[in-house]
Amino acid sequence: MKKELSFALNYALNKGFQIHPDAFKILDEITDVKQLEKIIKEIVKEKTRQKKFQINQNDLETYLGIKDDPSLLNEIKILSDPTSKVTSGEGVKGYNALFSSRFNKLKRIVSDRPESKMIKAISVVKTTKLENDVYVCGLLTTRNAERNITKLVLEDPSGSFEGIIFDEELQKTAGTLLIDQFVMARVASAKNSGLMIKDLILPDIPDQKINKSESEVYAVFLSDLHIGSKYFMEDELIEFVTWISSPDPVARKVRFVLIGGDIVDGVGIYPNQNKELVCQTIEEQLQKAEDLLDKIPKNVKIIIMPGNHDPGRRALPQPAIPQKYNSGLWERENIEMVGNPALISLNGVKVLMFHGQSIDDIVKTTPGLSYDRPTDVMKNLLRARHLSPVYGSSTPIAPEVEDLLVIEDIPDIFHVGHVHKAQLDMYKGILLVNSGSWQKQTPFQASVGMVPNPGLAIIVNLKTFQVFHENYSSNSNNVLQS
Ligand code: D5M
Ligand code: FE
Ligand code: ZN
């Protein structure tokens, strides 16, 4: 027997394991000493967890991927990706085109509603005495709450008008609207003059059927790794990535890993960032990312989308991380580089991936929303059918001729990150995943009282939509909110 083999076997025997002779034969054929050691250690760890103290042929075949079920599909289709579409019109003209595209796309979305037959242009509503209630739709340009009324200004391509809301409940609804978001309003002529808003309707998500994968495979949801930062939880992430190639029965069915932005910490993103970096260049950071992802088996498809820390354009929609910083990631067969946002089909399950930059603007201005419950913000985005409505606040938006941030297709899973708070929820049948982070609380986050729950791995069965999660951080109080 080879020296290395007897060493590896002793390791298992000392831990109280029996080794079946058939397992022996397979081990004897492994020539890479490092691999041999790693396999034995992994199997011992997994079987100890299962409290089964025999290593047999089946364990090794599973571990080595010989037993990986070839009937498990791992089909990816990129249904929508801004990378090749970003054009950026110039200045004011660009923004006019953007808002007109936003209006037209959302008007099409509400056209299925029964009220849409009663929609009138704003210019018409302003100049006619209304006998009955009518509907108008437009983008919200101004909101003013005064003593006991709220005034909204809505704009459509024909013009704009100011409507007054008297009803208290409706004023509350108006208070949650975001500037530049699309709304439909039921209006009537007010007693003296002017127009009164009697109802507000959002595009929202209709009842619909969710697509599921026929094959029982799992998808892993990650974001905000911040590789290169001092606070990146490298050991914890390596432990999780190693689990993906372990003999664990769930791990053996993982076929997709989705990374929703902030894969690296970047360079020059905030003042004096270099003091908090362990890798000082983008290239080094992305190389480290590539090395880490290399530990994932090649039958697992990996999707990488940029966030605000990653290189490339900052303004939304963001094209994929440019190839010039790391051609290795682009060249890998099992890696797809996509822009932000992107709509991806995983065995027919539609996943809308968005980093989540707009959450910052929304929690600042909307009563009842906070960083602690990012999935509530995600519900607001779905109701608005737009990923980043507010223009001119902290989230930069590029003057695209087409508004690529409108949620045209309804996803089955909505995957967001950015706020470093892992949370799960459901909305109208859509699974909402905020995938948290793999970065410990930074001094900046501590200074603003932001408490992340990093190191939580979220894994979804795409056939049943059952969700698993595992805490890899040393903080055992780290919980996944739902
Ligand atoms: O953002 C992580 C979270 O921290 C996200 O919710 C935004 C918030 N954040 C980060 N930097 C700032 C500044 N400078 N002001 C306010 N809020 C901030 P990340 O994208 O990982 O940096
Ligand atoms: Fe982040
Ligand atoms: Zn971010």
Judged against a pLDDT cut of 80, whether residue 4 lies above it is answered with no
Pick the ligand that lies closest to the CA of residue 222: 2
Q: Check residue 262 and give its pLDDT.
A: 98
| Sequence-ordered list of residues with C-beta below 8 angstroms from that of 406, at least 6 positions apart, any chain | 101, 102, 105, 106, 109, 385, 386, 387
User: Measuring CA to CA, which residue among 152, 182, 178, 176 is closest to residue 165?
Assistant: 152
Question: Separation of 396 CA from ligand 2 center, angstroms?
Answer: 16
Least confident of 54-68, 159-173, 444-458: 54-68
Quote the mean pLDDT of the chain: 93
Question: Separation of 395 CA from ligand 1 center, angstroms?
Answer: 11
Question: Separation of 106 CA from ligand 3 center, angstroms?
Answer: 27
CB 378 within 8 A of CB 370: no
Judged against a pLDDT cut of 90, whether residue 406 lies above it is answered with yes
Number of the ligand 1 atom closest to the C-alpha atom of 371: 6
Ligand 1: which residue has its CA nearest to atom 9? 445
Q: Indicate if ligand 1 lies below 6 Å from the C-beta of 361.
A: no
* Residue 90, Cβ density class (10 Å: 0-12 exposed, 13-18 middle, ≥19 buried): exposed
Read off the pLDDT of each residue in 56-84 and give the average, rounded to a whole number.
Answer: 85
Q: Check residue 91 and give its pLDDT.
A: 66
Question: Separation of 251 CA from ligand 3 center, angstroms?
Answer: 28
Q: Check residue 8 and give its pLDDT.
A: 81
Residues with CB under 5 A from ligand 3 (ion): 262, 307-308, 418
Q: What is the pLDDT of residues 435-472, one digit of tens each?
A: 999 999 999 999 999 999 999 999 999 999 999 999 99
Read off the pLDDT of each residue in 102-118 and give the average, rounded to a whole number.
Answer: 93
Q: Check residue 366 and give its pLDDT.
A: 93
Q: Indicate if ligand 1 lies below 6 Å from the C-beta of 308.
A: yes
Instruction: Say what percent of the chain tops pLDDT 90.
Output: 74
| Sequence-ordered list of residues with C-beta below 8 angstroms from that of 447, at least 6 positions apart, any chain | none
Secondary structure E strands in 65-105: 76-80
Could you please state the CATH topology (level 3) that the domain comprising 111-201 is classified under. OB fold (Dihydrolipoamide Acetyltransferase, E2P) (2.40.50)
- Residue with structure tokens 């790794």? 225
Confidence of residue 39 (pLDDT cuts 50, 70, 90): confident
- Residue with structure tokens 């309707």? 201
Kind plus residue range of the DSSP H or E element containing 104: helix 91-110
Confidence of residue 309 (pLDDT cuts 50, 70, 90): very high
Where are the domains positioned within the chain? 3-63, 76-85+207-471, 111-201
Least confident of 90-99, 298-307, 382-391: 90-99
Instruction: Say what percent of the chain tops pLDDT 70.
Output: 98
Distance CA 342, CA 285 (A): 23
Confidence of residue 1 (pLDDT cuts 50, 70, 90): low
Q: What is the pLDDT of residues 228-283, one digit of tens each?
A: 999 999 999 999 999 998 878 899 999 999 999 999 999 999 999 999 999 999 99
- Please write down the long-range contacts of 150-155, taking CB distance under 8 Å and 24 or more positions apart: 150/174, 150/175, 152/177, 152/185, 152/197, 154/122, 154/183, 154/185, 155/122
Q: Check residue 19 and give its pLDDT.
A: 87
CATH 3.60.21.50, applies to 76-85+207-471: yes
Q: Check residue 202 and give its pLDDT.
A: 97
Judged against a pLDDT cut of 70, whether residue 154 lies above it is answered with yes
Strands 149-156 and 134-146, sheet pairing: antiparallel
Q: What is the four-CA torsion angle of 332, 333, 334, 339, rounded to 10 degrees?
A: 70
Confidence of residue 319 (pLDDT cuts 50, 70, 90): very high
Number of the ligand 1 atom closest to the C-alpha atom of 419: 6
Q: Check residue 88 and give its pLDDT.
A: 63
Judged against a pLDDT cut of 70, whether residue 383 lies above it is answered with yes
Q: Check residue 456 and give its pLDDT.
A: 96
Q: What is the pLDDT of residues 250-262, one digit of tens each?
A: 999 999 999 999 9
Question: Separation of 205 CA from ligand 3 center, angstroms?
Answer: 26
Strands 54-55 and 254-260, sheet pairing: unpaired
Strands 134-146 and 467-471, sheet pairing: unpaired
User: Measuring CA to CA, which residue among 207, 106, 225 is closest to residue 155?
Assistant: 106
| DSSP 3-state of 379 | helix
